[in-house]
Amino acid sequence: MVIDEIVSHESVAPGVFRLSFYEPRIASHAKTGQFVIVIPLETGERIPLTINRADPKTNIITLVYQVVGKTTVLLSTLQPGQKLHAVLGPLGKPSHIEKLDKTVVLVSGGLGAAIILPEMYAFRAVGTLVVSVIGARTEDLLLFRDEFERHSDRVLIATNDGSCGVKGFVTDALETYLQEHASEVAFVKAIGPNRMMEAVTKIAAKYNLPTYVSLTSIMVDGTGMCGSCRVSIHGKIYHVCVDGPEFLAEGIDFTELENRNKRFQEMEKKAYETWCQCQPERR
């Protein structure tokens, strides 16, 4: 089989795709929490994507991504049998996984479920109890619900419209759980929108629980060269792609993080609109 050849490519929710490809060099070394840089086509930009699954037996890497601009639109058009132009990895520091006497609470919102799912598998594999809190705007946007329900020790669900689980946010479900079970919890890990992770951090702090977060969404180059993923923690500068992507949330300047995360939005929007104008089928 050709290196980086696509094995399967499917839609798992509106605008969200799961991509699997053959890459033995990465599959044999990748660990939970790491990511890869993908260049879909020769003329495409490089995008960092967290590894959803790496199977050293089949040498297959699985990624989950959301279509948000030109490059991910192009990526979504690739079919099984085609080859990705380039893949670099594994990159970043692995998540710290160990057997704990207390429960780990994993909180994810939206696409964060795809990133936190391997954490759930890893903690369960070493014998640590896992409570998963997953959320989305509506029930049909809940990602990997079946897998969380099959393999977590307990699953709490929140949807904005109340179509499944608690009506509200994952923070509502989390706080309700911690009110009764905080003494049983070792720590909380949150992956999702920045404001959601900040809110989770504040709730956990009320119960004297540490929170760990993954800041992959701020990365651009992914190798520490562009400096775009700088984050301030207790006033000290870190680079997410080489110092993380996982950090203890205490001391993170989430306001700065959110502002930096938005800095390319207007340029990305214009680039996508310009590209669409050049595509007759998209007019």
Binding residues: 64-66, 226, 229, 241
Mark the binding-site residues for [2Fe-2S] cluster, compressed into ranges: 226, 229, 241
**Do 216 and 115 touch, CB atoms closer than 8 A?**
yes
Instruction: Measure the CA–CA gap between 51 and 36, rounded to whole angstroms.
Output: 7
Coil, strand or helix at 39: strand
Instruction: Measure the CA–CA gap between 80 and 50, rounded to whole angstroms.
Output: 20
* Strand arrangement of the beta sheet that strand 211-214 belongs to: 166-167, 154-159, 130-136, 103-109, 185-191, 211-214, 246-248
Give, as one character, the DSSP assignment of residue 202: H
Residue with tokens 């104008």: 277
**φ, ψ for residue 193, nearest 5 deg:** -55, 150
What is the residue type of 193? Answer: P
Mark the binding-site residues for FAD, compressed into ranges: 64-66
Beta bridge partners of 191: 108
Instruction: Measure the CA–CA gap between 133 and 46, rounded to whole angstroms.
Output: 31
Instruction: Measure the CA–CA gap between 12 and 146, rounded to whole angstroms.
Output: 12
